[in-house]
Amino acid sequence: MNGDELKLAAETFAQELRGKIEREQGGVATFFNNFLLRTIRELNRLDPALPWEESTRRLGGVTGERLRRGLALLRGHLAARARGRFVAYHERLPVIPEAAPWASDIDQAALAMSQGTTDCLQWRGMPLFKTAFDMSIYAMLVWEQKPRTVIELGSGSGASALWIADLLAVSGIDGHVYSLDVQPPEIECPHVTFVAGDCRRIEATFPAASMARWPHPWLVIEDAHVNVAGVLDYFHTRLQPDDYLIVEDSLQKRKEISVFVNKHTGSYEVDTRYTDFFGRNATCAFDSIFVRR
């Protein structure tokens, strides 16, 4: 989208956004709502004869830099709205992934700091290896999806399993968390079962016959980073439509994920409501919050 087409789309979007703020948000705009509306207002003050790209290119100093960044975010936002919420994995990848491996609106330092700087994020006083973004994303996803079974691969301190169980409880969901680790924590908690096992022998740890009894929807979280391809394949035949599969820290697992998704064309879509909630890929699960179709 360029030139007049972009200007028209931005105007239509601004009108819709003002309506949404009034109707759905009780008249309260978010920072991002205000940012986009202000950007559109400022862009509209530029030379009407020129495309915004050209006008902003000619602008110098801090204002030019700010408006170019605003324009880029506005364009990204409009394009994402046009694509819709659920998107095929291959549509998410940069044209040349090797050339642009960091396909995120959040820079590497900001994402690094989002797990905590002086300390690691905590839950119930235990280290929780999530980003601040993912803590909010999971809370919203659990509320919306209402998983009856959560399978976590990689327990860490155990905080993440307890935290998900707490989310289930406050959301009024009758669910259970199974958390697998080679060295599971010694924690007793209702609605959480810590399982000793190895992702390299996933079928021995979670036998098909046991899993067949676990109620759906499922939320499967791969956070052990071992035998990713084998684990994804193992869960594929057990997942049902509307189950979720989240592969954390997925930047290093792109190859395995691509092979997996290509093998099962049409079976998985990226839920961009969550991957992009705080900006494109503002999550550790780069392009890898999947819903099973």
Would you tell me which residues interact with ligand SAM (CB under 6 A)?
A: 128-130, 152, 154-156, 159-160, 180-183, 198-200, 223-224, 226
What DSSP character marks residue 242? T
Other C-beta atoms closer than 10 Å to the C-beta of 166 total: 18
Alpha carbons 275 and 293: distance in angstroms, whole number: 17
User: Measured from the CB atom, is 223 or 269 closer to ligand SAM?
Assistant: 223
The residue count for the chain: 293
Residue that the structure tokens 């098909």 belong to:
208
CB of 164 to ligand SAM, least distance (A): 9
**Token pair for 232:** 């994804």
Q: Which residues pair with 221 in a beta bridge?
A: 152, 246
CB of 158 to ligand SAM, least distance (A): 8
CB of 119 to ligand SAM, least distance (A): 14
In what helix (H) or strand (E) does residue 196 lie, and over which residues does it extend?
A: strand 192-196
User: Measured from the CB atom, is 147 or 154 closer to ligand SAM?
Assistant: 154
User: Measured from the CB atom, is 152 or 287 closer to ligand SAM?
Assistant: 152
Contact indicator for 149, 214 with CB cutoff of 8 Å: yes
Other C-beta atoms closer than 10 Å to the C-beta of 135 total: 17
CB of 202 to ligand SAM, least distance (A): 8
CB of 209 to ligand SAM, least distance (A): 21
User: Measured from the CB atom, is 42 or 249 closer to ligand SAM?
Assistant: 249
Handedness of CA 67, 68, 73, 75 (dihedral sign): positive
User: Measured from the CB atom, is 106 or 164 closer to ligand SAM?
Assistant: 164
CB of 279 to ligand SAM, least distance (A): 21
Contact indicator for 67, 44 with CB cutoff of 8 Å: no
